[in-house]
Amino acid sequence: MNSKMIFNTKYRQLLEFVVEAIIRISGYSAVVFVGLIFLFLMQESLPTFGELQARDLWSQRWYPIENYFGVLPLLSGSLIITLGAAFIAIPFGLMTAIFIAEIAPLWLREILKPLVEVLGGVPSVVLGFLGITVLAPLVREELYLPTGLTAFTGAVLLAGMAIPTIVSVAEDALDAVPKAYRDAALALGATRWQTIWRVTLPAARSGVLTATMLGIGRAIGETMTVMMVTGNAPQMASGLGSLFISLRTMTATIAAEMGEVANGSLHYHVLFSIGLILFLVSLTVNITASAVLFRARKRTERLLS
Amino acid sequence: MFDNPKIRINELSVGYDDGTQALSDVCLDIPENAITALFGPAGGGKSTLLRTLNRLNDLLDVSISGEVMLDDTNIFDRNVDVISLRRRVGIVFAQPIPLPFSIRKNITYGLELAGERRRAKLDDAVEGSLRSSALWDEVKDRLDDSANALSGGQQQRLCIARVLALAPEVLLLDEPTSGLDPISTAKVESSLQILKQDYTVVIAPSSIQQTARIADLAVFMLQGELVEWGSGEDLFSAPREKQTEEYITGRFG
């Protein structure tokens, strides 16, 4: 009896130790993976800098067959398409979130919210397909362009992909604002819109900010859709007018060229450098988002304590 | 007893869309410049009645019948502007909810919404309303601090000040001291005694004792109906209805 109890205790301790170790390893593995990815990217991209001058990379011509490896067209392409998408997605997404959270009657809200989330789950290749067959011809005809496969087309579709993220996160944030705030503002004679704009939205601002950051993050990293609809011409984007020419993004370049490049060649290493740039950009966006959220949470804690 | 009603409630019934009847055929005259206290056990319709008086219930799905005459207008009339009604009939809630701004901004907010831009007017309103709610001395040196940094009792007096800044005619208070300590409660109660000289005060007190302390007109509500009303003294010393007597002597509720 006594020895059995001791055995049980030991067994339980061992089990506890094993389970805890597994959980611990799973937790750390995320950090390890990010670190390994970063190391791998560094290792594969560093040879670039042995063979190419920084100003060769920082130039305006991308033509790998002739050994022109200027990444500026790709960088500017990604930038303008992402900004275009953000410009459409943020106002539209926030207004949708406000409508769902604040204005729509309950029954409509219960239909809209899941629908928006379904929209977020549409595979990007399906959106790209719609872009090629529906949106691109429309853009070409309505705007009298030589081709509908433009940065603008990509930006519109990317906005479509970012909107569900923005709506979903922002709606949760708005919904979390205590109802009493609304009552208080209305009781002071605020109209519904004044209540939303000057009380509810500011009260939910950290969540709303996170929503836009996540939406933009999604747009930067998106590959398939932009590869299908932006025309993939590595031209320099130099202003708003560039929205209506064919452009190419960093992601599309890697996806399109990685399959055909000779392993270990300069071209191969440059593609990894582009990957490194992308990695750093999305890391920055994510860290900014968490920093903003963290600061907001600290402030709330201070106020509540 | 009171011959100058500010609000006349006539056969008011309010039902929520889930089928609960919150108020049934309520008839009541609310006198001007006095404290009318609605008391009774939870679920009696006190909050609903208060929220109906400035039409805050409009946002919920409610069915309302009967009329509420404020001076000579029925507040449910189609051509009544709800926004200006809410400025005339201010409300203070059980939970003090400062808006997420500074102390000053909490008070000027309603006025700014109403279109007041003159700095001097706004400053006057801040000082005046904070003095009326007995908060001025405690916050006059930190008007630009966040209102959330105030204590619970201060927040509640700020919420009262915020309503007073709009110069309402009627002040509704829904259990304004339920979350407060005895000292803060005493401060709020004594400021109400001063406020009633200028305003019509309707309050759902937090306790029977509070009702007895402050009510000029006490109204006992039970399950959406008015059981009995009378001057505070009469009702507490000699209740006419058995239910009232049982409630105030602590036999139920």
Minimal Cα–Cα distance from A115 to chain B, Å? Answer: 25
Distance separating alpha carbons of residues B243 and B241, to the nearest angstrom: 6
pLDDT for res A84: 93
Per-residue pLDDT for A305 more than 50?
A: no
Q: Which of A184, A190, A202 sits opposite B97 (nearest CB)?
A: A184
Calculate mean pLDDT across residues A18-47: 93
Contacts of B108 in chain A (CB under 8 A): none
- Per residue of chain B (253 residues), what is the pLDDT tens digit? 566 788 999 999 998 877 788 889 999 999 999 999 999 888 888 989 999 998 888 767 788 888 999 988 899 888 888 888 888 999 988 888 888 788 999 999 888 888 888 888 899 989 988 988 888 888 889 888 888 888 888 888 898 899 888 888 999 999 888 877 888 888 888 888 888 888 899 999 988 888 888 899 999 998 888 888 888 888 888 888 888 888 888 776 5
Closest-approach residue (CA) in chain B for A204: B100
Query: For chain A, which residues make up each domain, given as ranges?
Result: 2-51, 56-304
DSSP string computed for chain A? -HHHHHHHHHHHHHHHHHHHHHHHHHHHHHHHHHHHHHHHHHHHHHHHHHHS-HHHHTSS-EEGGGTEE--HHHHHHHHHHHHHHHHHHHHHHHHHHHIIIIIS-HHHHHHHHHHHHHHHTS-HHHHHHHIIIIIHHHHHHHHT-S-S-SHHHHHHHHHHHHHHHHHHHHHHHHHTS-HHHHHHHHHTT--HHHHIIIIIHHHTHHHHHHHHHHHHHHHHH--HHHHHHSB---PPP-SGGGGGS-B--HHHHHHHHGGGSPTTSHHHHHHHHHHHHHHHHHHHHHHHHHHHHHHHHHHHHHHH-
In this complex, the residue of A190, A203, A303 whose CB is nearest that of residue B113 is A190
Are B39 and B46 in contact by the 8 Å Cβ rule? The answer is: yes
pLDDT in tens, A183-232: 888 888 888 888 898 888 888 888 888 888 888 888 888 888 888 999 88
pLDDT at A155: 93
Give the per-residue pLDDT at A82: 92
Interface of B with A in 144-203 (CB under 8 A): 146, 148-149, 159, 162-163, 166
Examine the pLDDT at A10 and tell me if it is beyond 80.
yes
A50-88 pLDDT, tens digit per residue, is 888 888 888 888 988 888 898 999 999 999 999 999 999
Query: A209, A242, A12: which is closest to A94 by C-alpha?
Result: A209
Residue A304 is predicted with a pLDDT of 47
How buried is residue A252: exposed, middle or buried, by Cβ count under 10 Å (0-12/13-18/19+)? buried
Q: Which residue in chain B is spatially nearest to A193 when comparing CA positions?
A: B113
- Which of B109, B150, B159, B174 to mutate to probe the A interface, most A CBs <10 Å? B109
Tell me the chain B residues in contact with residue A194 when contact means C-beta distances shorter than 8 Å. 113
Contact of A185 with chain B, judged by CB distance below 8 Å, is answered with yes
The answer, yes or no, to whether residue A4 has pLDDT greater than 70, is no
Take residue A272 and report the two structure tokens written for it. Answer: 């990894």
- Smallest CA–CA distance, residue A184 to chain B, in Å, is 7
pLDDT average, residue stretch A236-246? 86
- pLDDT of the residue at A37: 92
Distance CA A227, CA A246 (A): 11
Task: Name which of A115, A113, A89, A101 is nearest A173 in CA terms.
Answer: A101
**Do B54 and A202 make contact, defined as CB atoms within 8 angstroms?**
no
pLDDT of residue A135: 93
pLDDT range class, residue A241, cuts 50, 70, 90: confident
Return the residue matching tokens 């601090």.
B145
**How near does any CA of chain A get to the CA of B225, in Å?**
25
Residue written as token pair 């609809």 = A229
Superfamily of domain A56-304: MetI-like (1.10.3720.10)
Amino acid at B144: D
Partner residue facing A180 (CB), from B59, B84, B93: B93
A202 contact residues in B (CB cutoff 8 A): 100
The residues that bridge with B69 in the sheet, in sequence order, are B8, B74
Domain-wise residue ranges, chain B? 5-248
Measured between beta carbons, which residues in chain A are less than 8 angstroms from residue B103?
Answer: none
B215 min Cα distance to partner chain A (Å)? 24
Q: Find which of A88-92, A242-246, A255-259 is predicted with most confidence, using mean pLDDT.
A: A88-92
Cβ–Cβ below 8 Å for B100 and A203: yes
- Per-residue pLDDT, B43: 82
ipTM of predicted assembly, 2 dp: 0.71
Q: What is the pLDDT of residue B238?
A: 83
Which residues in chain A have their CB less than 8 angstroms from residue B100's CB? 181, 199, 202-203
Long-range contacts of B231-237 (CB under 8 A, 24+ apart): B231/B1, B232/B37, B236/B211, B236/B212
B99 inside 8 A of chain A by CB: yes
**Which residues in chain A are closer than 8 Å to B54, comparing Cβ atoms?**
187
pLDDT at A99 over 70: yes
Best mutation site among B82, B83, B95 for testing chain A: the one with the most A CBs within 10 Å? B83
As a whole number of angstroms, the distance between CA B148 and CA A196 comes to 20
pLDDT digits (tens, 9 = 90+) for A147-178: 889 999 999 999 999 999 999 999 999 998 88
Q: Which CATH architecture has domain B5-248?
A: 3-Layer(aba) Sandwich (3.40)
Phi, psi of A231 (to 5 degrees): 90, -20
Q: Which residues of A touch B93 (CB under 8 A)?
A: 180, 183-184, 187
pLDDT for the residue numbered A40:
93
